[in-house]
Amino acid sequence: MGSEEATLVLIKPDAIARGLAGAVLSRLEQLPLALIGAKVTRVSQRLAEVHYQAMREEPFFNELIQHLRGELHGVAYVLALVYAGPGAVAAVRQAAGATNPEAASPTSLRGALGRMTTTGLMENVLHASSDDREAQREITLWFRPDELLVPLYASKTVEGQTRVWA
Ligand code: CDP
Ligand code: MG
Predicted local confidence at residue 159, as pLDDT = 87
Backbone angles phi, psi at 9, to 5 degrees: -120, 135
CATH fold for domain 5-165: Alpha-Beta Plaits (3.30.70)
Q: Is 67 noted as a catalytic residue in this protein?
A: no
pTM above 0.85, yes or no: yes
Compute the distance from residue 99 Cα to the ligand 1 centre, in Å: 6
- Reference 125, options 104, 109, 139; nearest CA is 109
**Cα–Cα distance between 156 and 73 in angstroms, integer?**
38
Closest CA to 132 of 95, 78, 84, 64: 84
Tell me what pLDDT residue 161 has: 87
The proportion of the chain whose per-residue pLDDT surpasses 90, expressed as a percent, equals 96
Residues whose beta carbon lies within 6 Å of some atom of ligand 1: 55, 60, 64, 99, 122, 124, 127, 130
**Catalytic option among 51, 67, 73, 127:** 127
**Average pLDDT, stretch 140-149?**
98
Of the residues 61, 99, 121, which should be mutated to test ligand 1's pocket, given the most ligand atoms within 8 Å of the CB? 99
User: Rounded to whole angstroms, how far apart are CA atoms 73 and 155?
Assistant: 36
- pLDDT (tens digit per residue) in 11-43: 999 999 999 999 999 999 999 999 999 999 999
